[in-house]
Amino acid sequence: MDLVFDTQTLPQAQRYAAWRDAICDVYVHVDVKATRPEDYRGFIREAKFGEVVLTDILLSEQRIRRNNRHISQLDKECYYIQLVHRGNISVVQRGETHRSNAARGAIFSAAEQYELYGHGEVRSFYLELPRDEFAQRFPRERIPVSASLNTAQGLGRIATEFCASLAAEGTNLDDGMRAGLGSQLMDMLAFTLLASEGDMPAAEGAVKKARLLSVQQWIEARITDPHLTLERIAGANGMSLRYLHVLFEACDMSVSEWIWNRRVQLAYDMLARGDGRSITAIAFDCGFSSSAHFSTMFRRKYGVSPREVVRLAR
């Protein structure tokens, strides 16, 4: 993980002021009040997995508060999930208090006022999850904000251990793999939160929907690659070929049909723009290895030939 800040490199008398100025006024936009500022110590390490930010934090005992002034400075909306390794910290939001420790995590919104109260020194993971992408994993996109999750057993414990593995090994992975793991972590956390509310059918449906969206986004980023195979898609997204096919049942088309359909749509847009390239060049740029196959698929979808689309564009 990348080191963002560490008081260990500073003289003891300067640590708390440096922490407050460098981290709390710039990094997270909050107010803090340490119980013993003269003995303060802390660090922040960070790693990014696509849109998910995983932070490993050590905090001396303190109160952390985000108010409307801080919220006005936010450049994105997200949720925080707090997973404590050591110590206890209370999360107060929407008039509710959730006590987090090694057995229980908490979720809260970065875009609403909140207070955190550390009870002694606290070491924890914080996950920053993009609001819109995470919300897609829930029925009617309703996330249980200001809620607790069980991290002592079941999927909550697996998610916590997964975070620890990401923190330890993430730097050895390429950007594509890191983004895929970040998406899988959001799937896991969504399932955990839904299951904690006793809604297992909704949890299973939401996670399945989220996995499909994640795989489609992965394919979309590589849609023009003529060597894109189903085995590669399944392997890169951590699933079997059988489960890959099960996911795409919701699309009323097979994985291969979905890929060809997207490639034809992409080619149509290029042809309609009339950028001067030949039909064959566009076909190859969109992942087709045969112009005849491209023409057949194009006519099957749109009822006209690629040449007719070019003629109309001109």
Residue spans of the domains in the chain: they are 2-221, 258-313
What would the pLDDT profile of 247-298 be if each residue is shown by its tens digit?
Answer: 888 888 899 999 999 999 999 988 888 777 888 999 999 998 888 889 999 9
Q: What share of the chain is helix, strand, coil (3-state, %, to 5)?
A: 50, 25, 25
Would you identify the CATH topology of the domain 2-221? Jelly Rolls (2.60.120)
Residue-wise pLDDT tens digits, 168-207: 888 888 888 888 888 888 888 888 887 765 554 554 565 6
Rounded-to-integer distance, Cα 314 and Cα 302, Å: 18
How far is Cα 270 from Cα 160, in angstroms, rounded to an integer? 45
- The string of pLDDT tens digits covering residues 5-62 is 899 989 999 999 998 887 776 677 888 999 999 999 999 999 999 889 999 999 999 9
At 69, give phi and psi (nearest 5°).
-65, -40
Residue 300, Cβ density class (10 Å: 0-12 exposed, 13-18 middle, ≥19 buried): exposed
State the pTM of this model: 0.65
If you ran DSSP here, which 8-state letter would residue 24 be given?
I
Q: Do domains 2-221 and 258-313 have the same CATH topology?
A: no
Q: Shortest CA distance to 56 belongs to which of 5, 16, 91, 98?
A: 5
Q: How far apart are CA 135 and CA 133, in angstroms?
A: 5
Give yes or no for a contact between 167 and 185, defined as CB atoms under 8 angstroms apart: no
**CATH dotted code for 258-313:** 1.10.10.60
